[in-house]
Amino acid sequence: MGRRCPAARLRGGEDRDANGGTHKGGAMHTVMVILGGLALLVLCLLAARLLGGPGPGPMLTAVQLFLPLWFVGAAINLWVGVARAGYSVAEELPIFLAVFGGPAAVALLLWWKLSRG
């Protein structure tokens, strides 16, 4: 299997490798990892509600717990892309930023909303 263009994973459709071949699934993998991050955020928020009770305090703590957990999860995804799929760090870094940044932005927006009121 040839090396794939990581930017194609974000655009969707087929991935194109360095030899001109195509591979399906790269974009779907990125979407699934981002959805996994959002699911982790929901799990953290549910755990905060169940264990910490109502109010913004436990929810803020959940967001604070989620961010480093998701950073580690996104970093593991980056490592897999480099070590197993054959991408360079430079190729995989934009994917890491999208994978971490999407769910992290949602979490930070939640943190901002909860801390205001």
The answer to whether 73 and 36 are in contact (CB under 8 A) is yes
Cα three-residue angle 9-105-11, rounded to 5 degrees: 15
Cα–Cα distance measured from residue 55 to residue 72, given in angstroms and rounded to the nearest whole number = 28
Q: Give the pLDDT confidence score for residue 24 in this predicted structure.
A: 53
Q: Give the pLDDT confidence score for residue 22 in this predicted structure.
A: 43
Mind listing the pLDDT tens digit of every residue in the chain (117 residues)? 445 555 444 444 445 454 444 455 678 899 999 999 999 999 999 999 999 888 899 999 999 999 999 999 999 999 999 999 888 999 999 999 999 999 999 999 999 999 986
Q: Give the pLDDT confidence score for residue 55 in this predicted structure.
A: 85
Q: Give the pLDDT confidence score for residue 92 in this predicted structure.
A: 93
The number of beta carbons lying within 10 Å of the beta carbon of residue 62 is 24
